[in-house]
C-alpha cells in the first residue's frame, strides 16, 4: 500500500497531528531471562528507535505502555519485605503509579535521546495519569484479573486475615493468586495536562498500565485496587485527543483469523464492520488479541481514521507501505 492508496500520508493532511502509540509487554521485556531494569531499558531503546519514523512523518506522539510484570515485581518485593521485615503492604494503585514513573522515565529518556540523534524535537514528558472508572462497573462484581504472585494453600488463612478484602482463587493448579476487577475506563483525569503539553510541542508518555484507577465520590477522587486494560485506555485517550491514528504495538506482525489452523490468514487493511464480525465469531483470544481489537473498534467508531496493529520493528513499513494490520472506517 502506498500513501495514495489509503495509508497515512507523511506529507499530507495528517501532518503535525497526534498519534497515540500503545506499546506492549514485548517492548519492555524481550525474554523471561531479560527482566532487570537495565534489560528493560535496552528493550525500550530499541522500541524508541522504531518510533522515529512516526515523528519524521509529522506526528506528535503520545505513548502508553503495559506494566503487568513490573507491577508483579513490586508486589512480590512488598510481600517479601512484609514477611521478613514487617514493612507495610504496597497497595495495587501505588504499584501502578510506581511503574508509571519508572517505565515513563525510561521511555522519556530513550525517546528523547533517539529523537535528538535524528535532529528532531526531543522534548518528552511523562504524566502520572489517573483514569476514572464507574464504581458500579460489573467488573467489580466479578473480579477476574490475576495480579501478583502465587500462594500455597498453607498461606491462605494468614493472607485472608491480613487482607480480608482480597479475593484469592486457584490458578491452573499452580497455587492461589489474588484477582482484581478490570473496569472500563470512563475519563482521563489528567486529559487537560496532556492537551497542554502537546500544544506546547512536547511528546507525552501517559496512561501507563491503563492508568491508576480512581472513583469519584462526594469527597473527591479515591484510588481503587483494579487493573484497566491499557489498550482500552489508549483508545479513549486517542479519541479524546482527536488523533487520526492509534498504533497498538504487539509481538506479531499481523492480526490473524483462524489462528493456529490450516486456514490461518493474516489481515492487512480491514474495515471496522468486518473486524467486528471476526471478533463476534471468536477469532481472537480473550486474554491477548481480543482486547486490542475491541480497543481498535472503539476508536474507529468514535471517529478515528486508522488503527495499526503490528510489531514495533514494522512501524515504519506500516506507515509508509501499509505493512501490519490496518483497521479503518
- Cα Rg, the chain, nearest whole Å: 20
Q: Is 30 a catalytic residue?
A: no
Q: Is 67 a catalytic residue?
A: no
Report the 10 Å Cβ neighbour count for 315. 24
CB 126 within 8 A of CB 100: yes
Report the 10 Å Cβ neighbour count for 20. 29
Q: Is 145 a catalytic residue?
A: yes
**Which residue among 104, 209, 292, 324 is the active-site one?**
292
List, in sequence order, every residue forming a beta bridge with 149; answer none if it has no partner: none
**Which residue among 26, 30, 58, 113 is the active-site one?**
26
**Which residue among 66, 104, 148, 230 is the active-site one?**
230
Q: Which helix (H) or strand (E) holds 132?
A: strand 130-133
**Which residue among 24, 145, 209, 311 is the active-site one?**
145
Distances from the Cα of 153 to the Cαs of 156, 162, 172, 198, in angstroms? 5, 15, 14, 50
Provide CB contacts within 8 A for 195, sequence distance 6+.
241
Q: Is 292 a catalytic residue?
A: yes
Distance CA 184, CA 187 (A): 10
Active site residues: 25-26, 145, 230, 292
Amino acid at each position: 500500500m502506498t500513501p495514495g492508496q489509503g495509508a497515512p500520508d507523511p506529507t499530507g493532511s495528517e501532518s503535525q497531528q497526534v498519534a497515540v502509540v500503545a506499546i506492549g509487554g514485548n517492548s519492555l521485556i524481550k525474554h523471561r531471562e531479560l527482566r532487570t531494569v537495565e534489560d528493560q531499558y535496552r528493550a525500550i531503546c530499541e522500541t524508541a528507535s522504531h518510533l522515529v519514523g512516526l515523528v519524521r512523518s509529522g506526528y506528535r506522539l503520545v505513548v502508553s505502555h503495559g506494566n503487568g510484570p513490573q507491577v508483579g515485581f513490586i508486589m512480590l518485593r512488598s510481600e517479601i519485605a512484609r514477611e521478613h521485615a514487617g514493612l507495610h503492604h504496597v497497595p495495587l494503585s501505588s504499584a501502578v503509579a510506581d511503574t508509571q514513573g519508572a517505565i515513563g522515565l525510561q521511555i522519556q529518556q530513550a525517546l528523547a535521546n533517539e529523537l535528538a540523534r535524528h535532529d528532531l524535537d526531543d522534548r518528552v514528558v511523562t504524566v502520572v495519569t489517573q483514569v476514572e472508572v464507574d464504581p458500579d462497573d460489573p467488573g467489580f462484581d466479578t473480579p477476574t484479573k490475576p495480579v501478583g504472585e502465587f500462594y500455597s494453600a498453607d498461606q491462605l488463612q494468614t493472607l485472608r486475615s491480613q487482607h480480608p478484602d482480597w479475593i484469592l482463587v486457584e490458578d491452573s493448579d499452580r497455587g492461589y493468586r489474588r484477582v482484581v476487577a478490570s473496569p472500563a475506563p470512563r475519563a482521563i483525569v489528567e486529559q487537560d495536562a496532556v492537551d497542554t503539553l502537546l500544544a506546547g510541542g512536547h511528546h507525552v508518555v501517559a496512561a501507563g498500565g491503563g492508568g491508576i484507577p480512581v472513583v469519584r465520590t462526594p469527597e473527591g477522587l479515591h484510588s481503587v485496587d483494579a487493573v484497566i486494560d491499557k489498550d482500552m485506555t489508549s483508545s479513549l485517550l486517542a479519541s479524546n485527543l482527536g488523533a487520526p491514528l492509534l498504533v497498538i504495538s504487539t509481538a506479531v506482525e499481523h492480526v490473524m483469523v483462524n489462528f493456529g489452523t490450516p486456514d490461518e490468514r493474516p489481515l492487512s487493511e480491514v474495515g471496522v464492520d468486518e473486524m467486528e464480525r471476526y471478533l463476534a465469531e471468536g477469532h481472537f483470544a480473550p486474554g491477548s488479541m481480543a482486547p486490542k481489537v475491541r480497543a481498535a473498534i472503539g476508536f474507529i467508531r468514535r471517529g478515528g481514521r486508522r488503527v495499526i496493529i503490528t510489531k514495533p520493528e514494522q512501524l515504519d513499513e506500516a506507515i509508509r507501505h501499509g505493512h501490519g494490520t490496518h483497521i479503518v472506517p
